[in-house]
Amino acid sequence: MKRSLTTLVVFIFVSLALSACVSKSFTVTNVWARPGLSGSNSAIYMTINNPSQADALVEARCDVAATVELHMTTMESGVMKMQAQDSIALPVNGQVKLEPGGLHVMLINLRRDLKAGDQFPVTLRFQHAQEMTLQVQVKEP
Ligand SMILES: [Cu+2]
């Protein structure tokens, strides 16, 4: 009896530890991309909430474009510029928004048309967390 009680307590403890682990992964919402024609460019935007340890987005992979890069849009003397980023920092307990005029996943040289209403997958690779595949919704900004 005592042994089974111990087993039960250990089981509950492990379950709680596992569920805490699962609930602490990223939540990524509002994943969308601009429409674009084959051969042109587009961008993916999203909101990343990071409830656990400090991490960084290091790569996005997506087969709708020949080249996929992490970009930051900045204004320099009134001129809009985009700069490739090695990674995008995800501070602990922070929210990072990829949005028009700021950070984005750049889709260069689309392999097919992206029309409003289309969906396609993108895979995000992080420095620490496991990679994650999400559905991107194509819509007008
Ligand atoms: Cu860009």
Percent of the chain at pLDDT exceeding 70: 83
Q: Are the C-beta atoms of 130 and 49 separated by less than 8 Å?
A: no
Ligand 1 mean position, distance from CA 43 (Å)? 7
Percentage with pLDDT > 90 across the chain: 78
The Å distance, Cα 107 to ligand 1 centre, comes to 8
pLDDT of residue 5: 56
CA-nearest of 28, 135, 141, 125 to 68 is 125
Average pLDDT of the chain, as a whole number: 88
Q: Tokens representing 28?
A: 């990524």
76, pLDDT greater than 70: yes
Q: What is the pLDDT of residue 140?
A: 96
122 CA to centre of ligand 1 in angstroms = 16
Return the exposure string of 59-83: e unless at least 16 CB atoms fall within 10 Å of the residue's CB, then b: bbebebbeebbbbebeeeeeeeeee
Give the Å distance between the CA of 60 and the centre of ligand 1.
Answer: 13
pLDDT per position as a tens digit, 87-116: 999 999 999 999 999 999 999 999 999 999
Q: φ and ψ at 101, to 5 degrees?
A: 90, 0
3-state class of 113 per DSSP?
A: coil
Q: What is the pLDDT of residue 42?
A: 98
Q: What's the rounded Cα separation, in Å, for the pair 2 and 109?
A: 66
**Residue 40 · residue 114 · CB < 8 Å:** no
Distance 104 CA to ligand 1 centre (A): 6
Per-residue pLDDT at 57 exceeds 80: yes
Residue 27 tokens, joined: 């939540």
User: 0.85 exceeded by the pTM?
Assistant: no
Least confident of 21-30, 66-75, 100-109, 132-141: 21-30
Task: Kindly tell me the burial class for residue 47, based on how many C-beta atoms sit within 10 Å of its own C-beta (0-12, 13-18, 19 or more).
Answer: middle
